[in-house]
Amino acid sequence: MVGTASELLEVTILSIYVSGMATILGSAIGIPLGALIGLKEFGGKGAVKTITYTLYGFPPVLSGLFIYYIFSRAGPLGEFGILFTPTAMILAETLLVIPLVTGITITSVVEVDKAIKDTVKALGATPKQSVLTVMREAWVGLVMACMVGFGRVIAEVGAAYLVGGNIDGKTRVLTTAIMLETRMGHFEWAMALGAVLLTVALVVFFFLRMLQEKEML
C-alpha cells in the first residue's frame, strides 16, 4: 500500500520513468515510421494507414499479454528474466505508444507536405532537404503525437499490472496503486492518487507544450 510520502514519491517516480521511457522509445520508432508512411508513395498505403489507425484501439491488456508470452520463462525470450521488472512494463507500454505516434505523425506530415511541397520544390530542394523541411514544419504535430502517447501510457493499468506484477517498491506505479486501493475499497485514497497522477501529467504536458512552442529551443 502507498502509505508514506517516500512510498508515494517512489511510485510517482517509477510512473514517470516507465511512461517517459515508453513515450521516448515509442516516438523514436513511431515518428520515422509515420514520416515514411506519410511521405513515401507505395502500394497498399491506404491499408497500412487503416491498420495503424485501427491499432489506436489496441487493448492495453492485450499488449501486456503479448509481452508476457514473449518474456515468460515459458516463452521465446524467457531467459532474459525481465518479467516483473520496469523494463517489461516499458516494452508493453511502448507497443501502445507506437501506433498513436505513427498515426498522428502521418497526418501531420501529410498536411504539411501538401501545403509546402511546391514551394520547396520551386526553391530547388533535394529530396533529403525537403523531408527535413517537412519534419520541421510538422513540429507541432510531432510533439502532439508524443503528448498523446504519454497520455495513454501514464493512465494505463492493465499491461502495467500484468507484466509488472504491482510489486511493492519495485513495479508499483500510480495506476496499479490506484487499482489496489480501489480493490481494497479505499476509494477516497484512490482518488487522491489519481490527483497525484494528474499533477504529474500537468507538469509533463507543461514541459511538452513549451517544447511544442519551441520556447525551449
Partner 1 sequence: MMVAAVIAAALIVGGTVGYLLLKEDEPQTLKLATTTSTYDSGLLDYILPVFEEEHDCTVDVIAVGSGAAITLGQNGDVDVLLVHSPAAEITFVEAGYGESRSLVMYNNFVIVGPTEDPIDTMSSANASQAFQKIYDNGTAGNATFISRADASGTYTKELSIWATLGYNKTEVMAFPDSWYIQSGQGMGAVLDMAEEMDAYTLSDDATYYQRVSEDLIPNLNMTYSGDSALFNQYSVIPVNATMWTHVNHTLAMEFKNWLVSDDGQDLIASYERYDMQLFFPNAEGYVPSTESLPSIQTFGAVCATVPAVRTGR
Q: Interface with partner 1 by CB under 8 A: which residues?
A: 1, 17, 20-21, 24-25, 27-28, 72-75, 78-79, 81, 83-84, 86, 135-136, 139, 165-168, 170, 182-186, 211, 216-217
The nearer residue to partner 1, 26 or 49, going by C-beta atoms, is 26
Smallest gap from Cβ 78 to partner 1, in A, equals 7
For residue 71, CA distances in Å to 63, 99, 101, 110, 217 come to 12, 22, 25, 37, 39
Smallest gap from Cβ 83 to partner 1, in A, equals 5
User: All 3 cell numbers of residue 163?
Assistant: 507484466
Q: Give SS3 for 120.
A: helix
The nearer residue to partner 1, 48 or 65, going by C-beta atoms, is 65
Smallest gap from Cβ 177 to partner 1, in A, equals 13
Smallest gap from Cβ 155 to partner 1, in A, equals 20
Helices (H), 40-173: 45-54, 60-71, 86-122, 127-137, 139-154, 158-164
* Distance of alpha carbon 10 from alpha carbon 104, whole angstroms: 32
User: All 3 cell numbers of residue 188?
Assistant: 477516497
Smallest gap from Cβ 47 to partner 1, in A, equals 30
For residue 51, CA distances in Å to 29, 44, 67, 100, 135 come to 16, 11, 20, 11, 23
The nearer residue to partner 1, 50 or 207, going by C-beta atoms, is 207
The nearer residue to partner 1, 37 or 162, going by C-beta atoms, is 162
The nearer residue to partner 1, 166 or 175, going by C-beta atoms, is 166
